[in-house]
Amino acid sequence: MSKFEKTKWADSEFSQNYRDDADIYLPYRSQFIEVVKSLYSYFIDKKSEVRILDIGCGDGLFVQEILKSFSPKHATLVDGSSEMLKAAQNRLEHYKNTSFIEASFQNLVSDEPLLENFDFIYSSLAIHHLPFEEKRKLYTYIYKLLSPGGCFVNYDVVAPQSGKVEKWFLSLWRQWIAEHPCKERSEKLLDIPDQYKANKDNIPDTLEAQLSTLVEIGFRQVDCYFKYGIFSLFGGFK
């Protein structure tokens, strides 16, 4: 993976466009979040003094959704983009017990700036930028950060098993965008799947390879919790 400052996410206009249009071109985004909230409610919320971590937090939408429904003791948000962190701080300005750290995934693994353990660790549409060995290192670091019984959930794009299936998945993605009620905006976003394929910063691996890696690292109850096309929600427990 390129150093973060050399990727598109370091560009303020690119990150702003993502925040503006994500609900149009990310299929079932709200449903993915609801599944994570259900998992959190069932497995994590009953714990006392829950600490949560969102790595690659973007504009803080997920943490906001958690804080609307639950009361964790503290939420830590990490992102390599200063623009995204500013957006997250603005979104969460009325919530107490939140902290923000500007760091790339490489910084997290090499510098280890996080000194506490977490009961729930989440990442959204970010880890696919890492080559496989860096994914493995990050997953290992995440396992180290989890408290016993803690859970890691990753919402991300994954590589299909074949080119034929990938073409179908990408056609599903285009159909989702085309059918959005806001036609004026959605028509301008129909090439997003092609941009995704052409972007060399995107290095997705198969779901199966990543689930196997989580098991090898030591995660328990590893599974895929929700999936649509290339978009997948998966993780495990410590």
As its CATH architecture, domain 4-237 has: 3-Layer(aba) Sandwich (3.40)
By CB atoms closer than 10 A (0-12, 13-18, 19+), residue 55 is buried
For residue 212, give the 3-state DSSP assignment: helix
Distance CA 16, CA 182 (A): 18
Q: How confident is the model at residue 23 (pLDDT cuts 50, 70, 90)?
A: confident
For the chain, the average pLDDT equals: 92
Q: Of 11 and 66, which is predicted with more confidence?
A: 66
pLDDT tens digits, 150-177: 999 999 999 999 999 999 999 999 999 9
Q: Of 196 and 7, which is predicted with more confidence?
A: 196
pLDDT score, position 9:
38
- Residue for token digits 């989580």? 214
Q: Is the pLDDT of residue 13 over 60?
A: no
Q: Could you tell me the residue ranges of all domains in the chain? A: 4-237
Q: How confident is the model at residue 14 (pLDDT cuts 50, 70, 90)?
A: very low
Q: Which of 5-9, 127-131, 143-147 has the lowest mean pLDDT?
A: 5-9
pLDDT tens digits, 176-204: 999 999 999 999 999 999 999 999 999 99
For residue 176, give the 3-state DSSP assignment: helix
pLDDT tens digits, 68-102: 999 999 999 999 999 999 999 999 999 999 999 99
By CB atoms closer than 10 A (0-12, 13-18, 19+), residue 99 is exposed
Q: Are 86 and 74 in contact (CB under 8 A)?
A: no
